[in-house]
Structure 1
């Protein structure tokens, strides 16, 4: 896996480089500002770009905005936002529009190295890593119970695990189901939440957002 890191804290940036390379992945660039992030992705075409939200030049949501632009200019690169900050509008747009893998984790909720590496690998494999608590804080929304009431208890269990970023195989293992049964439940979730097939939308992410907000 080839990774680009964008983090304006030199200490944290070097720490991330060491952690990622320690487990055998390659950090092809480590930069300190949003414009450099976009240039590095254009040059190296990494599997994943890791970015903070607030960084130079404006120390606002430059990193998140750069990540959003990268989902359009380099759709094959997964995006993992690793930050202590929350920016609602841009974050929701990122989660809903990314065609490749996408993740959003808060720094103080990453428990250990294995959790971080697992998130990177899932995003690199076009998966989604969204901590339910993180999304609640990002969107500041309450659950839409009128919509969720359409779901069966089993579908609610499946959707809860989807919100934790679990793959179909992991959900099947957790609920002691076949993967075919999990896929059937997910199809039912999409139907009941009015999420038709659309090439421009990630229905799995939209289902999780419906679960966590309205």
Structure 2
């Protein structure tokens, strides 16, 4: 079996690589960011990707987003997410098209090496390994689309609804314009607004916000 590991912690990355090597599983690439994960998958066409959720540069959901992009580019690519966090909306996206070849384990619950290696083999073989806590959190999410957003993303969307430009948003929030663009990109993704003209997606995001606000009041 040939594996690509995406994990920003040097110790965690080395530890997983060592565990795999002990049972004859080859790590063909070990990277620390989402962009390099995609490059490694394209180069090596691995049998399995093991990815963390939060990686540079923003440490939000880059790893999981890269894993999703890899599965879209290479349908059926087995992906095992091992993280401290449940990233609700992206976890749903990861599993939405079927749990075959998909795993999502919480690091704090991966205490048994044998269980972890069993999950690795199961996912690589087309099975699934979903942590019960991940399932519970996914099931507990309400149907309000804004529930997928962080508090900061809701704040950004609320200001977008007031008609503020990205530059005005940056000034209002005392952050860089690049940070604002990252928030908006995450909002588009979490609201499932497909790629297209940003002006159209911006309008649709604001309409979703206004619709949700009206329903709640």
Please tell me the TM-score bracket, short chain as reference: 0.5 to 0.7
Does the 8 Å CA contact 1:84/1:107 hold for their aligned counterparts?
yes
Q: Flag structure 1 segments of 5+ consecutive residues without an equivalent.
A: 143-214
Task: Map Cα deviations across residues 54-93 of structure 1 (whole Å, 9 max, x no partner).
Answer: 0012211001111111111012420000000111111101
Q: Flag structure 2 segments of 5+ consecutive residues without an equivalent.
A: 143-217
CA distance in 1, matches of 2:124, 2:76: 9
User: Normalising by structure 2, what TM-score?
Assistant: 0.62
CA distance in 1, matches of 2:99, 2:12: 28
SS of the counterpart of 2:57? coil
SS of the counterpart of 1:55? coil
Say whether 1:97 aligns with 2:113.
no
Does the 8 Å CA contact 2:2/2:27 hold for their aligned counterparts?
yes
Does the 8 Å CA contact 1:5/1:30 hold for their aligned counterparts?
yes
Does the 8 Å CA contact 1:5/1:27 hold for their aligned counterparts?
yes
Does the 8 Å CA contact 1:77/1:100 hold for their aligned counterparts?
no
Offset of residue 35 of structure 1: 0.5
| CA-atom RMSD in angstroms | 1.6
Offset of residue 97 of structure 1: 2.3
Q: 1:99 to 1:91 in 2, by over 3 A?
A: closer
Task: Map Cα deviations across residues 131-177 of structure 1 (whole Å, 9 max, x no partner).
Answer: 222221344349xxxxxxxxxxxxxxxxxxxxxxxxxxxxxxxxxxx
CA distance in 2, matches of 1:42, 1:63: 16
Task: Map Cα deviations across residues 98-143 of structure 1 (whole Å, 9 max, x no partner).
Answer: 575000000010121111111111111111111222221344349x
Q: Which has the larger radius of gyration?
A: 2
What residue number does 1:2 align with?
A: 2
User: Normalising by structure 1, what TM-score?
Assistant: 0.63
CA distance in 1, matches of 2:35, 2:66: 7
CA distance in 1, matches of 2:111, 2:129: 14
